[in-house]
Structure 1
Amino acid sequence: MDKLITEFDRALRTVFAPAASQRPHPDADVPEAALDSAQKRHAAGLMRVNHCGEVCAQALYQGQALTAHDPATRQALQQAADEEVEHLAWTERRIAELGGRQSLLNPLWYAGSLAMGVAAGLVGDRYNLGFLAETERQVAEHLQHHLGSLPVEDARSRAIVSQMHADETEHARMATELGAADMPLPARAAMRAVSRVMTTLSYRV
């Protein structure tokens, strides 16, 4: 019962409470640029997508850790989740600075991602880690695309996305070293399809 209460509290804090970062924000020393209204809307939309992705990551890792069998796997998932909290804090603040808002669909994304994480853990630790590695690889690709799409002048957003890209790449490497299995092609394709739906909706809603 205590564990269920703890996990429920984590879910509420992820979706509804402000996040905190242990590390300095990557854009802390980067001056704010003079962006026009269209640039701000676009940058805020991209950062909202990234924030939504971090909400999903928290839910995925929570579900995967709940059903992981090996303590080392569980610890790796929890470590990745802790670092993703920092990403939540960075994107959350940047969205506000750009005059935007978080996605209204975050509770829905969290619930769906939690279910996916639980299912991945039930399959077994190697595929649990494989799901983590593939998720992080796809997120890293997505962040690289955002670096090409963000306004060149928006150095603050770009600093945040660059650090997130480095962290996600490291998480994928960690999962691989722990023995992640390669995800089947249909599973990878399904993950990309779900990601496209999430990013398209969260950019606007």
Structure 2
Amino acid sequence: MTHITTTAVTKPAFRRQPSGLDTLFIEVNKALEVLSGASQATRPNPAGEPDITDAGLNESEKKHVAGLMRVNHVGEVCAQALYRGQSIMCKDPQIRQVLLHAAEEEVDHLSWCHGRLGELKSHTSLLNPLWYAGSFTLGVMASVAGVPKNLGFMAETERQVEQHLESHLASLPEQDERSRKIVTQMRDDEIGHRTTAEVNGAEELPVPVKQAMRFMSKIMTTLAYRL
């Protein structure tokens, strides 16, 4: 009798690729998480434990600091939307991870700014849904333009954010060490994001595009300081 030995063939595990509807649900959930303030930092707050007294700041200074931190919070809302919009159409898996990693670090900034506004008994921008939607749209447009321009948009965005944060450090009251520590760490992280984009092949954006970005940023910061 002839014995036939059979070898079991292991079939590759089936992995369902996310559909367009899946992606939509993921992005809507992320937007709601950001806009509701539910996002949690993964790194310790550079300012340390919460302080609800803010000794040394008068009411006028608290109002000014709150305005600046609200602007910074809006910037982080926009960063989440931008990076997720830029990653969603990115064809290069490595660059997509670069964008998503930067977005993860921006969640820390978002949480720190949100917490600082709470300490100051102030509020986040009433226009955050508008900022998020507009920024997500811009991110998708940058992504469609191709990887070099996508990274160029990231680099220029971070460059302009660095400048905003530097101006905030100059404007914050000297005795407000909590806000200054948060803003300093944010600035250092943004420098890292810009450098990463440049190292990975960011393309310099045309001057008119840079100017348009500055104009839009000016409108956003002016409104966010008050609203």
Fold equivalence (TM over 0.5):
yes
- Rounded to whole Å, the distance in 1 between the matches of 2:33 and 2:45 is 20
Contact 2:37–2:114 under 8 Å retained in 1 = no
CA RMSD across the alignment: 1.1
Larger radius of gyration: 2
Secondary structure of the residue that 2:91 maps to in structure 1? coil
- Over 3 Å counting, the alpha-carbon distance change for 1:30 and 1:97 in structure 2 is closer
Q: 1:179 aligns to what SS in structure 2?
A: coil
Which letter does structure 1 place at the counterpart of 2:125? Answer: S
Quick one: distance in 2 between partners of 1:113 and 1:134? Answer: 14
Are the counterparts in 2 of residues 30 and 155 from structure 1 also a CA contact under 8 Å? no
TM-score normalized by the length of structure 2: 0.88
TM-score of the superposed pair, with normalisation by structure 1:
0.97
Question: Could you tell me which residue of structure 2 aligns to residue 197 of structure 1?
Answer: 219
* Letter in structure 2 aligned against 1:158: R
**Percent of paired sites with the same residue:** 52
SS in 2 for 1:107: helix
Deviation at 1:30, TM superposition (A): 8.7
Match of 2:131 in 1: 109
Pairwise CA distance, 1:44: 0.4
* 2:69 counterpart (47, 64, 68): 47
| Alpha-carbon distance in 2 for matches of 1:69, 1:125 | 8
> Per-residue displacement from partner, 1:76-125 (whole Å, max 9, x unpaired)?
00000000000000000001101110000000000000100000000001
Alpha-carbon distance in 1 for matches of 2:32, 2:121: 24
Q: Which structure 2 residues correspond to residues 60-139 of structure 1 after superposition, within 5 A?
A: 60-139=82-161
Alignment gaps of 5+ in structure 1: none
TM-fit CA distance, 1:29: 5.5
Corresponding residue pairs, total: 205
Q: Which residue in the other structure is 1:23 paired with?
A: 43
Structure number with the bigger relative contact order (C-alpha 8 A, sep ≥ 6) is: 1
Superimposed CA distance per residue, residues 16-62 of structure 1 (whole angstroms, 9 cap, x where no aligned partner): 13221111101006974321000000000000000000000000001
1:55 touches 1:109 (CA, 8 Å); kept in 2?
yes
Q: Is the 8 A contact 2:50 2:119 kept in 1?
A: no
Residue matched to 2:8: none
Whole-angstrom distance in 2 between the partners of 1:160 and 1:170: 16
User: Could you list the runs of 4 or more consecutive aligned residues of structure 1 that deviate by over 6 angstroms after TM superposition?
Assistant: none
Gap runs ≥5 in structure 2: 1-20
One-letter code aligned to 1:114: F
Q: Quote the Cα distance in structure 2 between the aligned partners of 1:29 and 1:79.
A: 26
